[in-house]
Amino acid sequence: MTSAPELTLCSLTFPYEVSYIRRRCRNTETTRLPGHVDIAIRTIADADAPVAFFVDTPNWREGLVSFDVREFEGACWWPLVYDEKFVGARQFLNALAAGDVRYLTLLLRKRIYADYGWGHWTWRRFEDLDARDIKSNNHETNLILAQRGAEDFLLCGDRVFVRGRDPVYCCVVSEPDSLFEPRSSVDVADPERRPLDVLHPQARPLGNGHESFDISSYEGTVFRADEREKLASFLETRGFSAKFSADIKVMLPQNIRSNPLQMQVAALVRALIRWIDLQALPVDSEYFQPLVLAHKRLLSIATQKQIEMDEGRRVLMEISSWSERIEVIRRYDPDLAMTFAELPPSIHDVLEKVRVRLGSLPGSRTFLDKHDEEALNGLGA
């Protein structure tokens, strides 16, 4: 039986923005000031967080890096590193008290860009603004983010751990060209993506920050911790060796919850958001209304933290159907037509995989609901 976690109180200096008008001035200015609060970080013993996964992952500077992902309260927890060294509890607490943006980025889940011309924000005081009118500030918003973010950290032994998800293999295969031979690489990543600070060296949870995860989730080459043999078979079918340095040893199988197909659907949805620009389309045209509505749904879905397969594949189906209407779209927007022409076949592949996984909805031949099917049938009418 695990004991209840203790709470370690620590000082936190966090940034917030203030918009104000100086005395004897008319224009609004915005600056960043330090906020101060005490937050509580849960502290547990090593025995309270058993090892759920042992991970070996290649590192370009130091060869192989080994670490463990622990389980606590039904979640996975990844070790925090700074400059590729494990972060100690005292180092972490001191960094939060000093307002170190490398750690605050993880805590607030947003990047904090450097200030120019004003000096560092931690040196400023509200009293020095000489303000006659405060227009707005986000002190309370960032305070709530900080207090909520503190729940995603654990002090376990002398190390700091960050809440994440179960580790996955991410495989990247490069196609051959005139200069390079085809290559493959396998890494281990945490699907819980967190923003990292732009400064180096940076604090990050191990498993975070690998571009290979973004690439492989889009390509559909993410494999669960218990799918090593499936990954090896995939590499062999592509003509590569089934031996790779990355490895995940599963100690607590109940912590495997990731769905690689769901990750691919989510990656495709977010990629489409970056590709498609509807501003040049006649949005009031009855012909284009299904596409405009599909794009609005796409935007809405893409803001979700975790995109459900059922919801994502519906809007992917609608959008991808338009990729076959290149000539019609070209009359209105040649650039958009070019984007649709380049939609990868992987979108259609993943739709078929989702159809097999979820099955068809009652009374639907296209595994869409009635409303969506009618909208598709009306395209080009």
DSSP letter, residue 253: G
| Predicted local confidence at residue 379, as pLDDT | 46
* 179-234 pLDDT, tens digit each: 667 788 899 999 998 899 888 888 999 998 677 898 899 889 999 999 999 999 99
Q: Indicate the pLDDT class of residue 15, thresholds 50, 70 and 90.
A: very high
Q: List the structure tokens of 358.
A: 């979820």
Torsion sign over Cα 143, 149, 150, 151: positive
Please tell me the distance from the alpha carbon of residue 267 to that of residue 260, in angstroms, as a whole number.
10
* Model confidence at 362: pLDDT above 60: no
* 21-67 pLDDT, tens digit each: 988 888 998 889 999 999 999 999 999 999 999 999 887 566 568 99
Helix 260-275 to helix 309-322 angle (10° resolution) is 40
Beta bridge partners of 15: 34
Tell me the average pLDDT of the chain. 84
* Model confidence at 335: pLDDT above 90: no
List Cβ neighbours of 148 (8 Å cut-off, separation of 6 or more).
none
Please tell me the distance from the alpha carbon of residue 379 to that of residue 381, in angstroms, as a whole number.
6
Q: List the structure tokens of 153.
A: 């950290």
Helix (H) or strand (E) holding 312: helix 309-322
| Predicted local confidence at residue 51, as pLDDT | 97
Q: Quick one: how many helices (H) and strands (E) in the chain?
A: 12, 14
Please tell me the distance from the alpha carbon of residue 159 to that of residue 81, in angstroms, as a whole number.
9
Q: Provide the pairing of β-strand 28-44 with 153-156.
A: parallel
Which CA distances in Å does 143 have to 15, 121, 196, 357?
A: 9, 16, 19, 42
For residue 192, give the nearest of 173, 216, 167, 224 by alpha carbon: 167
Tell me the CA end-to-end span of the chain in Å, nearest whole number.
65
- Indicate the SS3 state at residue 199: coil
* 253-300 pLDDT, tens digit each: 999 999 999 999 998 888 888 777 666 666 677 777 777 788 888 888
| Predicted local confidence at residue 118, as pLDDT | 55
For residue 129, give the nearest of 16, 18, 15 by alpha carbon: 18
| Predicted local confidence at residue 371, as pLDDT | 55
* Model confidence at 360: pLDDT above 60: no
Judged on CB neighbours under 10 Å (0-12, 13-18, 19+), 9 is exposed
Q: Indicate the pLDDT class of residue 141, thresholds 50, 70 and 90.
A: very high
| Predicted local confidence at residue 64, as pLDDT | 61
Beta strand residue intervals within the chain, DSSP E: 6-22, 28-44, 51-59, 63-72, 75-82, 85-86, 131-137, 153-156, 159-164, 168-174, 183-189, 203-205, 222-224, 247-250
For residue 34, give the nearest of 110, 151, 112 by alpha carbon: 112
154 vs 309, more confident: 154
- Amino acid in position 16: Y
Rg of the chain taking only CA atoms, in angstroms: 25
This prediction has a pTM of 0.83
Q: Indicate the pLDDT class of residue 161, thresholds 50, 70 and 90.
A: very high
Q: In what order do the strands lie in the sheet with 183-189?
A: 183-189, 168-174, 222-224
Beta bridge partners of 184: 173
99 vs 360, more confident: 99
| Predicted local confidence at residue 211, as pLDDT | 77
Q: List the structure tokens of 357.
A: 């996984």
Percent of the chain with pLDDT strictly greater than 90: 46
* Model confidence at 370: pLDDT above 60: no
